[in-house]
């Protein structure tokens, strides 16, 4: 059975500057991406600096251990 004809409302066209709106949205999205990239970069830099500090501390401890167990010439002659 065929029901009656359906009528849909007619939407008048928008005369807004579509290119300007799209450019604003695109710029906003790029700014969000840039902010996220900068956050990730600073986190990576902090992690790298932290790992380097840990490496230096371990190397310093190893050097001290080697000096403790190393027979020096002064100890040999005394």
Range of the domain at 56: 18-77
pLDDT of residue 19: 84
Residue 50 included in any domain: yes
Q: What is the largest CA-CA distance in the chain?
A: 115
Residue 9 included in any domain: no
Predicted TM-score (pTM) of this structure: 0.56
Angle at alpha carbon of residue 64, lines to 68 and 60, rounded to 5°: 170
Residue 70 included in any domain: yes
When divided into structural domains, the chain yields a total of 1
Residue 43 included in any domain: yes
Distance between alpha carbon 61 and the CA centroid of its chain, in Å? 32
Summarize pLDDT for 22-78 with one digit per residue, the tens.
899 999 999 999 999 999 999 999 999 999 999 999 999 988 888 777 666 555 555
Residue 72 included in any domain: yes
């Amino acid at each position: 059975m065929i029901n009656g004809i359906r009528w849909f409302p007619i939407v008048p066209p928008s005369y807004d500057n579509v290119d300007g709106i799209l450019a604003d949205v695109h710029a906003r999205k790029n700014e969000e991406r840039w902010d996220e990239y900068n956050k990730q970069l600073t986190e990576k830099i902090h992690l790298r600096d932290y790992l380097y500090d840990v490496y230096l501390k371990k190397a310093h401890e190893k050097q001290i251990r080697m000096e403790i167990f190393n027979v020096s010439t002064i100890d040999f002659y005394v």
